[in-house]
Structure 1
């Protein structure tokens, strides 16, 4: 095992020992050069320290730029030739990949009545059992396919800048659990690359991978993350490549304008042949999404744009190498291969799999690999292990009891040692009562299903709250505010309202951006919004609990209009529009100010407020309004924090304080 920390190198590189050139075959991708830095078309193989609690015996990072040109050789620092894969003809090894994706910091679900669901500690228990029972010829790898941030109260321990940073709850617990490696997901950048860098340096004892993220001012490739890695476990050499969605990553943020994400297929085409040549098997950690182009799965209730998703990645990979390749996916929260390989998820022998999200499942792939077989007959089992929910109210004689979390289902010692201190650090913030909910009709089941079909009580409240708070903004009060429907993730119960209760409503890391725009631009925005409505004929066949990712917006009360749905989305239009009581026709040339959240200011990503076709299941190529073209003042304020400040001031959420339907948008029948 190397004793060199991630990001540091040593002069002499041994990959399975120094082997004389006459003793083994050597890859055409590997050559010998003594210069310290790789040239264009090269990657440098650099030893690093694997997570000491994980399974990797020797870890090597592949450093260099995989995007400028195809990689034609892999070099070492000191001239040692590197042998081709370790398995000789006739040898066979078993590789078992345990995987999860899109945890979104749901390491433990806190619930006062049902009891806490120890999601990650259940996963840890199973991983430990698998590692302990592994045979001599069985290599176990434990991986994350990305999006390990944004979605639970544990995000708050990161703060909003490096001075506020307390801990990265996800990376800290993963390190303690012996996670071997992780991909970078799009939500890793929600609070900025500078804060992500702090989190990696403080809490990640495993490498992060992305072959197509580049040019950040803060997160430096080959220092904070690498494109790919080689792991040796029990005589098996595993190549690992990370990919990040180029559709939904928050590029263009004010504090990191150069951050970019290139096409996943470009990275695969340039990188995979070289990595495969020096590996027995390749695992692609793809945080790009299940499908290709516009596709419906997982959290998407209608078609969303995944771009070059896992179908395209697997199809290309199958043509670039005959080595075993598996695509461990994420991003779309899709449940795949729950009990066995599903035929649609095997493309020319390349397996695609994913374990839904939020730690609801642990994925498990077991493959038997022989040097001479390539991808022929190499899977032995593929499945998902469900993680049990908690409900301590259910008694032992209830038929549901066995399906619920009990004490023996999770690693209690791990929970106590690693997650309990994080909960304690959050205690005061979690429990703080910020107000009272007076009305009984603001619950999750009512708010979530009304997000996409017209007015929503909580959306009205949120937008009007931010508008009221704008009295305190540096540039004075703002005319209007908006928020996207998908950003409303829950509702609130009648009674005392805690910080955590409201966090569940608004879990996303959105800042406040103030746009300067004309009445004409607001008119055009509303026309685009009318076409994004979940139409009456779609409601019965659409799971409104899922994300209808077409970007429907809610506005503050100063914008009032009707939606004439017409015979189709293309014919839908906004009519009888008034801005602060004036017909929009009289305001087209006037300039207004409007609060937007980060997601929309950057173009809405897969929800397409960026000039592209609307998508999200809306038929036809209807061009969208481009939010990116507006002029902005980037305030640095956090949308959720301003709403919470308003709740604290008014003390009550009710119809009287703005959580009501007031006719600001009426959908005509």
Structure 2
């Protein structure tokens, strides 16, 4: 299904390029096969169109047997953000697999820098049998390249030069600490400079470009006003072919180039080895020029079945890696009451929206840097943030293994404690709206459950956030807050410069993966955090400032996330609901009326710590879940009313072992266009959000620790 979403025309070339006839005397048909953004996907995921590296290598072997004039190349991100089998061994199995598959040359992708430049230039370069090129990666303050710029080979008498470049946004995509002495220059300038140097030496120049289009439409790719649009239009005619990457899309295009009678192929093969991007060039040996081109995408999975046989040598590498990873990954670390997921829109991950998984990871980071974590001895933190790009897999419901958790955060970042002013915290929230021209316009930070904020989506840059609270109190711009983030964010990664501006920082020594594993072990069964830590605001008033500056916050983290700020009520004037109880529980409804798509909230108090309570909505029975009261004997129910629930009277029914059921009545009202407009939504988007909420674990019980008596 994912493959279908990413490749609407995957089985046909994106342009009508003629397929060269069988080579005649005086011509050579060069076949170039390209991969990109494999990210250590060693093993198959046939349901999502991923065949695994053994089958990818088998495809190359079969195509090479059909045409010996074949070269396998990569546009980068071979490693990094990998699945567990590769990640647990620092991606060495992926490098070994590419060696066995005969990868000839690769561009450096931004993820090749995940463990820092020293690791890339040292360990990775030593293990790889292929060069990793980066013509636009320079020593800081110079134009001196620190990686090989080009690589030349001869195939069937034709000399081919390869030039590799990486996206200029790399400094904001990897931990800045690992590339502190590097500059990343303009890819077009580097391509033109190096290809001009190669002009007298080679017959054909191929650009391996770790930058890509945001669409599969060739017309839109050629006209795009972005970094890759410049690559397509402005790269000189010295470059005959462009293999691209970075955006995980599939396209096979060709464009007219000034100074050339033959179109220039521009291709990208999707992600994870799902496709080979193929370019065929017909070289006229007498005229010494390319006379024809053809482009297409070759899927490695067709109809849910691998389209090629597995390569035995690569399969042996993967089998050994799988066995080694299985032993480390099989250890059970806890359970989850429901799937804890990233944000999705139409089945595709959306890093610009709130996610249940982001909230859980932020909660785990705050817990890991608190007195509740026996492995932590530093100053306790007040807040925690995590970046959406650091979340690479969802957590399943049920048993959670070390591998399940490791798949979520494969980067091995450490947790860093920063001292930030309230103004810097607010700045970090503003920086979720990325600068113009960024690959993604918004990157949604996962925030710990004691922070809540309102925002305006359509606002001037720097004016999106309208209010911020910490533990229910307004954020104090002058106060100092201790903030836990991963080392990537601490160095200003993803463009979040506010974290890099912190007055002080201390490395906790904990790997982010270890923190989540420990959190899951300590809090099982873990519950999908309810969405709503940020909500759409209704105005642009600034955050209120207390008349007396608040002291440095030092709250004590709890066994679960704290209550998010309540979403704006969808009724104009909510009516306070009565309080009810049956001896064993006291129930406080925020309102007796809630619209479809709104949030029903009920606070349950007077419970025994650890007491289990089941919440069900009647008259249409919908079980919300069974959860455990916190140390204060409190639970907060926050349930998003689905569109399937009939309008009218309903009951929230609470049960617990040995206790009489407690019922509280409430009324569901129909959604209105006015209500949707008040939240800045359309009916269509509201339905998508509702589906996303349900899929991400909305409509569950949310544990909270009382704010009363806590320091602000």
Q: TM-score, normalised by structure 1?
A: 0.66
> How many Å apart are 1:444 and its aligned residue?
7.8
CA distance in 2 between partners of 1:269 and 1:487 (Å):
34
1:377 counterpart SS class = strand
Question: Does residue 1:238 correspond to 2:111, yes or no?
Answer: no
| Aligned equivalent of 2:27 | 92
| Aligned equivalent of 2:115 | 191
Aligned partner (choices 586, 590, 609) of residue 496 of structure 2: 609
What are the ranges of 5 or more consecutive residues in structure 2 without an aligned counterpart?
1-24, 530-557, 569-677, 680-712
Question: Does residue 1:148 correspond to 2:61, yes or no?
Answer: no
> How many Å apart are 1:365 and its aligned residue?
0.9
CA distance in 1 between partners of 2:353 and 2:234 (Å):
42
Shift in CA distance, 256/377, structure 1 to aligned 2, threshold 3 Å: closer
| Aligned equivalent of 1:4 | none
Q: TM-score, normalised by structure 2?
A: 0.63
- Is contact 2:192-2:236 (8 Å) kept? no
| Aligned equivalent of 2:44 | 109
**Cα deviation per residue 1:617-661 (whole Å; 9 max; x = unaligned)?**
xxxxxxxxx443334525253223211121123232126997779
| Aligned equivalent of 1:71 | none
Question: Does residue 1:350 correspond to 2:264, yes or no?
Answer: yes
Question: Does residue 1:641 correspond to 2:641, yes or no?
Answer: no
Shift in CA distance, 523/131, structure 1 to aligned 2, threshold 3 Å: closer
**Cα deviation per residue 1:301-355 (whole Å; 9 max; x = unaligned)?**
x99xx99744323433335x3xx61011111112111xxx455999963221111
Shift in CA distance, 156/650, structure 1 to aligned 2, threshold 3 Å: same
Counterparts of residues 549-564 of structure 1 (less than 5 Å): 549-564=441-456
CA distance in 2 between partners of 1:298 and 1:516 (Å):
44
| Aligned equivalent of 1:592 | 481
Question: Does residue 1:268 correspond to 2:157, yes or no?
Answer: no
> How many Å apart are 1:580 and its aligned residue?
3.3
| Aligned equivalent of 1:66 | none
> How many Å apart are 1:282 and its aligned residue?
0.5
Counterparts of residues 22-61 of structure 1 (less than 5 Å): none
Question: Does residue 1:281 correspond to 2:204, yes or no?
Answer: yes
Shift in CA distance, 139/276, structure 1 to aligned 2, threshold 3 Å: farther
Measured on the aligned residues, the alpha-carbon RMSD in Å equals: 3.8
**Cα deviation per residue 1:176-205 (whole Å; 9 max; x = unaligned)?**
111111111110111222333443354211
**Cα deviation per residue 1:119-143 (whole Å; 9 max; x = unaligned)?**
2222211211222222xxx621111
Q: Give the number of equivalent residue pairs.
A: 500
- Is contact 1:447-1:457 (8 Å) kept? no
> How many Å apart are 1:463 and its aligned residue?
1.2
- Is contact 1:603-1:609 (8 Å) kept? yes
CA distance in 1 between partners of 2:240 and 2:305 (Å):
35
CA distance in 1 between partners of 2:31 and 2:400 (Å):
45
Shift in CA distance, 446/307, structure 1 to aligned 2, threshold 3 Å: closer
Shift in CA distance, 497/327, structure 1 to aligned 2, threshold 3 Å: same
CA distance in 1 between partners of 2:290 and 2:148 (Å):
30
- Is contact 1:513-1:598 (8 Å) kept? yes
Aligned partner (choices 271, 276, 282) of residue 368 of structure 1: 282
Aligned partner (choices 521, 524, 540) of residue 651 of structure 1: 524
CA distance in 2 between partners of 1:637 and 1:297 (Å):
39
Shift in CA distance, 201/109, structure 1 to aligned 2, threshold 3 Å: same
**Cα deviation per residue 1:148-180 (whole Å; 9 max; x = unaligned)?**
112311343344xxxxxxx61221101011111
CA distance in 2 between partners of 1:146 and 1:457 (Å):
30
| Aligned equivalent of 1:28 | none
CA distance in 1 between partners of 2:259 and 2:216 (Å):
20
Question: Does residue 1:123 correspond to 2:56, yes or no?
Answer: yes
| Aligned equivalent of 2:296 | 383
Question: Does residue 1:510 correspond to 2:423, yes or no?
Answer: no
| Aligned equivalent of 2:169 | 247
| Aligned equivalent of 1:312 | 230
Shift in CA distance, 642/133, structure 1 to aligned 2, threshold 3 Å: same
2:369 counterpart SS class = helix
- Is contact 1:513-1:601 (8 Å) kept? yes
Higher strand fraction (1 or 2): 2
Counterparts of residues 59-74 of structure 1 (less than 5 Å): none
CA distance in 1 between partners of 2:510 and 2:199 (Å):
46
2:79 counterpart SS class = coil
| Aligned equivalent of 1:37 | none
